[in-house]
């Protein structure tokens, strides 16, 4: 049983920073990709960022503000979020994949999902 557990969410003001962490437990793999999606109520799930063995990917909406970091030894995947905006408000989900032919920015690319952590950015 693989579990991904997110932490670090909370309520912040616009312009603040927040760091999300995701820890994998149970069986772990040499993940091809680990990353983050987010979903606001009434909206579709949205790609945020991901890291493969050699590359990092970011949604246009977060480029220059968010940074992903991956520790393959633990394993963990962190998301440093800076200059937060109200439109960043969402539940953030940690994701991981052993490998996929799907485009990395699509939910179908990932095998494992965490239960999410709420990030609320007040205006």
**Per-residue pLDDT tens digits for 82-93:** 999 999 999 999
pLDDT of residue 101: 65
Per-residue pLDDT of the chain (123 residues), as tens digits, is 889 999 999 999 999 999 999 999 887 778 899 999 999 999 999 999 999 988 999 999 999 999 999 988 888 999 999 999 999 999 999 999 987 767 889 999 999 999 999 999 999
Q: What CA–CA distance (Å, rounded) separates 108 from 123?
A: 33
Task: Look at the alpha carbons of 103, 107, 109, 115 in this order and tell me if their dihedral is positive or negative.
Answer: positive
Instruction: State how far the Cα of 31 lies from the Cα of 29, in Å rounded to an integer.
Output: 5
The H or E element that residue 3 is part of is strand 2-7
Give the residue from 31, 123, 49, 43 showing the smallest Cα distance to 91.
43
Containing H/E element for 48? strand 46-52
């Amino acid at each position: 049983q693989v579990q991904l557990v997110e932490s670090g969410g909370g309520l912040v003001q616009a312009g603040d920073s927040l760091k999300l962490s995701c820890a994998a437990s149970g069986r772990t793999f040499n993940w091809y990709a680990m990353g983050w999606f987010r979903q606001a109520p009434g909206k579709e799930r949205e790609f945020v960022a991901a890291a493969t063995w050699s590359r990092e990917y970011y949604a246009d909406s977060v480029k220059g503000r968010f940074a992903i970091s991956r520790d393959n030894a633990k394993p963990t995947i962190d998301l440093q979020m800076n200059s937060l905006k109200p439109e960043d408000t969402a539940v953030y989900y940690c994701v991981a994949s052993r490998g996929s032919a799907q485009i990395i920015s699509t939910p179908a690319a990932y095998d494992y999902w965490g239960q999410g952590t709420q990030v609320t950015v007040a205006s």
